[in-house]
Amino acid sequence: MKRKQMKHREWWSEGLNFTCLDECGKCCDEPGGIVYLSPDDAIRISSHHDLEVSKWLQRYCRRTLDGRWILNSRPKDDICIYLNRQKTCDIYEVKPTQCSAFPWWRENLRSEKSWNKTLGFCPGLTSEDAILIDGDTIRLWVDADKEAQRGFRQWPPLRKK
């Protein structure tokens, strides 16, 4: 007799409430924040700036200790270079995948304790305008965040065989 395998269900699989609030910027306004870039991010954002990817990387990005490309921060306050004075993103239409995935980062969803810290940080999670984001959509963003964190170390990236 075969046993049915139960698929592990995440604590958030029934969905969570969220809305991104205008002029909030809290997720971008953290000194020392790191935004990992995927190759698709680099192509999309460099095109937005009408630059070759390699030129955009040299001008607007830096490498982590392990060699992955990340967005630069402003020298004066260590905040994202694309967060403007109105607390909005100057490249919102083409922002990095990791930015789009917030608050659905693995580190935030790892446990209810981690989530409770995120609740205290992000007003869009407790806003009366927040809408239910279903578990399947959250899973897609968790996976996108994971892929973005993998990042890339060279341009052009090596192709997978």
If pLDDT is split at 50, 70 and 90, which confidence band does 47 have?
very high
2: confidence class by pLDDT, cuts 50, 70, 90: low
Mean pLDDT of 43-65: 97
pLDDT at 4: 52
- Rounded percentage of the chain residues whose pLDDT exceeds 70: 94
Neighbours of 69 (CB within 10 A): 24
pTM metric for this prediction: 0.87
The residue type at 29: D
Instruction: Write the CA distances from 139 to 10, 63, 106, 134, 160, integer angstroms.
Output: 9, 28, 10, 9, 24
Query: pLDDT band for position 9 (50/70/90)?
Result: confident
Q: How far apart are CA 39 and CA 67, in angstroms?
A: 14
Quote the pLDDT of residue 30. 87
- The string of pLDDT tens digits covering residues 102-161 is 999 999 999 989 999 999 999 999 999 999 999 999 999 999 999 999 999 999 887 665
C-alpha to C-alpha distance for 153 and 8, rounded to whole angstroms = 33
102 DSSP assignment:
T
